[in-house]
């Protein structure tokens, strides 16, 4: 059977760590590259089972984004949205001599591969989005077209992170004494309780590779006169996702429209129309004081709107909702996820 191999690859931008499924002896030959991009506060480790399950005709590669896992922790320029990550990915594929690849992105990684598609459509064979961030960013918008709640993006960016979670992440906490410990966030937000993921200790260790600080997670922030009083800064992870910096709402205008599959857990509490990580939704529930009526971000409706435009322009789009699954569908429901992924890969190979 295949084995997993970790190595660091020097690229024109930085040295990146990748996780590969090595083929069995005697099975070498041309294979289609499938590149997996993890989400926030995680690493390539979250893709281990997926990499091993792919048929031999594919070349599965999972990358650690900058500031996560074993990749160089270069600062993140959030004013470029997710382009630092997308450009890093392009540099990696250049170094690996991969001219065209199937891309699979989870959560924030979904935004990274959307940006990659936006900038390099001809190099994208297919796109699989796993509970992806909205094409209109995370937080600070309303309506299916991602209208800003305030010009400064109030309610999004580095200042929206829970400080206790950031502290426990910085301290390398591996316990579950606090509901905001990485282990408890994994068990209650990444997957749907009461299930606990296999290899939980490895996944917690993966989360703890996240670099913490203004240049990384969560990033800096600025004060705002608009509720809830914080707006995006210019550095770090959460600011990359702010709607003032990240927006890919014109995918339907691309000259090439690779097939797109959107796979999501129906019980996701992170990327949702009622996200527990959206300050506007928390305000509406009374969990955050001073709420002024700002509507919650309809994250699913926004993704559906953007992909609907893509489909009407001629792109092939599938939406697959997995009942009983949370944010990490590929971890929770590997068989269902794998079947949907293989169908997308087959379709992308024909385009």
Task: Report whether 133 contacts 151 (CB < 8 A).
Answer: no
As a whole number of angstroms, the distance between CA 192 and CA 186 comes to 9
Give, in order, the Cα–Cα distances in Å from 325 to each of 245, 249, 292: 30, 27, 32
- The C-alpha atoms of residue 273 and residue 305 are separated, in whole angstroms, by 13
Per-residue pLDDT tens listing for the chain (351 residues): 679 999 999 999 999 999 999 887 766 667 899 999 999 999 999 999 999 999 999 999 999 999 999 999 999 999 999 999 999 999 999 999 999 999 999 999 999 999 999 999 999 999 999 999 999 999 999 999 999 999 999 999 999 999 999 999 999 999 999 999 999 999 999 999 999 999 999 999 999 999 999 999 999 999 999 999 999 999 999 999 999 999 999 999 999 999 999 999 999 999 999 999 999 999 999 999 999 999 999 999 999 999 999 999 999 999 999 999 999 999 999 999 999 999 999 986 666
Question: For residue 12, how many other CB atoms are within 10 A of its CB?
Answer: 11
DSSP 275-321: -TT-HHHHHHTTSSTT---PPPP-HHHHHHHHHHHHHHTT--EEEEE
Alpha-carbon 330 to chain mean position: 12
Instruction: Tell me the DSSP string of 78-98.
Output: GGGTTHHHHHHHHHHHHHTT-
Q: CA-CA distances (angstroms) from residue 153 to 94, 125, 159?
A: 35, 33, 11
**Quick one: pLDDT at residue 351?**
60
- Supply the angle between the helices 83-95 and 108-119 in degrees, to the nearest 10: 70
Q: Which residue, 95, 30, 32, 27, is CA-closest to 63?
A: 95
pTM here is 0.97
Give dist(CA 239, CA 221) in Å, integer.
8
Domain boundaries, the chain: 3-142+245-349
Q: What CATH topology corresponds to 3-142+245-349?
A: Rossmann fold (3.40.50)
């Amino acid at each position: 059977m295949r084995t997993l191999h970790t190595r660091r690859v020097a690229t024109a931008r930085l040295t990146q760590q990748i996780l590969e499924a090595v083929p069995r002896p005697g099975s070498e030959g041309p294979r289609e590259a499938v590149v997996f991009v993890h989400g926030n506060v995680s690493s390539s480790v979250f893709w281990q089972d997926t990499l091993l399950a792919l048929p031999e005709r594919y070349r599965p590669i999972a990358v650690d984004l900058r500031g996560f896992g074993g990749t160089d922790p270069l600062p993140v320029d959030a004013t470029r949205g997710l382009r630092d990550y997308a450009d890093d990915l392009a540099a990696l594929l250049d170094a690996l001599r991969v001219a065209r690849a199937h891309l699979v992105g989870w959560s924030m990684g979904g935004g990274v591969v959307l940006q990659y598609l936006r900038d390099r459509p001809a190099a994208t064979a297919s796109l699989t989005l796993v509970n992806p961030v909205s094409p209109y960013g995370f937080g600070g918008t309303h309506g299916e077209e991602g209208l800003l709640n305030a010009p400064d993006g109030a309610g999004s960016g580095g200042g929206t992170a829970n400080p206790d979670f950031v502290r426990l992440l910085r301290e390398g906490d591996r316990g579950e004494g606090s509901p905001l410990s990485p282990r408890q966030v994994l068990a209650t937000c990444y997957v749907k309780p009461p299930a606990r993921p296999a290899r939980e200790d490895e996944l917690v260790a993966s989360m703890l590779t996240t670099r913490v600080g203004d240049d990384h997670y969560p990033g800096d922030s600025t004060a705002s006169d608009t509720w809830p009083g914080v707006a995006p800064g210019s550095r770090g992870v959460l600011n990359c996702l702010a709607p003032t910096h990240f927006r890919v709402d014109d995918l339907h205008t691309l000259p090439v429209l690779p097939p797109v599959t959107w796979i999501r857990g129906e019980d996701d509490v992170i990327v949702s129309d009622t996200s527990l990580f959206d300050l506007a939704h928390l305000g509406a529930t009374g969990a955050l004081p001073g709420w002024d009526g700002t509507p919650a971000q309809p994250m699913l409706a926004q993704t559906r709107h953007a992909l609907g435009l893509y489909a009407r322009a001629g792109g092939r789009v599938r939406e697959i909702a997995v009942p009983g699954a949370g944010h990490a569908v590929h971890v929770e429901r590997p068989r269902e996820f794998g079947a949907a992924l293989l169908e997308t890969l087959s379709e992308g190979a024909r385009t």
